Amino acid sequence: MSETSDLKFATLAIHAGAAPDPVTGARATPIYQTTSFVFQDTDHAAQLFGLQAFGNIYTRITNPTQAVLEGRIAALEGGTAALAVASGHSAQFLIFHTLLEPGDEFIAGSQLYGGSINQFNHSFKKFDWRVVWANSLDPSTFERAITPRTRAIFVESIANPGGVVVDIEAISAVAKKAGVPLIVDNTLASPYLCRPKDFGADIVVHSLTKFIGGHGNSMGGALVDCGTFDWMKSKHRYRTLVEPNASYSGMVLGEVFGNMAFAIAARVMGLRDIGPAISPINAFLLLTGAETLPLRMQRHSDNALAVARYLQDHPKVAWVNYAGLPGDASYERHKKICPKGAGAVFTFGLKGGYEAGVKLASSLKLFSLLANIGDTRSLVIHPASTTHRQLTDEQRIAAGAGPDVVRLSVGLEDEADIIADLAQALDAL
């Protein structure tokens, strides 16, 4: 389907980017499990290699199964183009590889997934890409962090693990004033609960492994070009997009590809040379998951709200941080940014501190103790001893992963069974 502007979300989740296979008539998107593709002739090959025509060359760069997934994610996020890759971390890397030169800076909200904090603080140093930290809940801290070397701002729509909802619109205003793109990781919300473009985001990133795939069976990531940033206005800042490209006969990608130039550049300069390609089978599984995204996200959110209410009243629980609870610090932002629900992931603190958190995570039976979110199954982890272990105490607290914190990713089971499992584990403390 090419015309998607008038279709509702649930219809897009099933149909966007897809059509019956033109050769076999297969209704489900086939898994094109091939490394390479035959050219019509040498002229056709030359056009493909020169970016004068769209098509398939090699699965490291493009693949028909991947293309359907990209079309669907772009449609759900309201973007002009998307790029699907091997993981969410791969997508983040390609975003910054496209934007930054050695010595450049970007500002990131400290309420962030621990793996992203680690990637930004350590791995990016090898490229001399420099992160400056701000408070996701205080837009003024982003404004104060702007320097002449700032090239982007990065936040999560719903922060992992804390579950706080970020005021994307306010931070977008800071980015626009500085003339830099706003990047929003929308993994925890998914486009069903929140569409960052509507609040001023220029680039959206996903770990497709989580809620869009939804079944804990496949890895993938995606970046979405919202088509809202004019790269040619900042010629001194974004060389990959605005300078003549030697790989493509001096082509200026920002001029030729306009409002999808960022996604094209990330593919033909980043994915082409660095190579974190998504496999066709994973693209197929993620597509299948996307079809039920609206049904699953609503059930996730409804179950999570019921669980949060239960924990809020439990005598062994010190606090619950869930944006869907009236009185929560993020409640009003949740009603504005993601009014259909506050998602599946949230944290709570136990009065017994670190040791109680470790014991509770090990005592649950229905919940699986593992380092993932966004599965049909309910999941639990104690971040301070696992996902955020590599951070300092100060960094863990800033990220919402202090010693007493337990993170839940509430699944699709019956809410009574989820609560019963938590009750028996809490009783055992």
What structural domains does the chain harbor? 9-289 (3.40.640.10), 293-427 (3.90.1150.10)
Beta bridge partners of 132: 107
Question: pLDDT means per 10 residues in the chain (429 residues)?
Answer: 74 96 93 97 95 94 97 98 98 98 97 90 97 96 98 96 92 98 98 98 98 97 98 90 95 96 98 98 98 98 98 97 95 96 95 92 96 95 80 76 90 98 96
Neighbours of 263 (CB within 10 A): 26
The angle at the Cα of 285, spanning 284 to 290, to the nearest 5 degrees, equals 95
d(CA 153, CA 147): 12
Residue 4 pLDDT: 61
End-to-end CA distance of the chain: 54
Q: 318: which 2 tokens?
A: 């010190």
pLDDT at 5: 67
CA gap 278, 28 in Å, rounded: 19
- Supply the pLDDT for residue 2: 44
pTM of the model: 0.95
The number of helices, as runs of H, and strands, as runs of E, in the chain is 18, 12
Strands (E), 8-167: 81-85, 105-109, 130-134, 150-156
What CA–CA distances, in Å, run from 278 to 29, 62, 161, 220, 315? 16, 9, 26, 6, 46
Q: Which residues contact 38 (CB under 8 A, 6 or more apart)?
A: none
Phi, psi of 17 (to 5 degrees): 85, -10
Tokens of 62: 């493009």
Judged on CB neighbours under 10 Å (0-12, 13-18, 19+), 288 is middle
Q: How far apart are the C-alpha atoms of 71 and 189, rounded to whole Å?
A: 19
Sequence-separated (6 or more) residues with CB below 8 Å from residue 276: 85, 86, 87, 90, 93, 94
Three state DSSP letters for 218-286? CCCEEEEECCCCCHHHHCCCCHHHHCCEHHHCCECHHHHHHHHHHHHHHHHHHHHHHCCCCCHHHHHHH
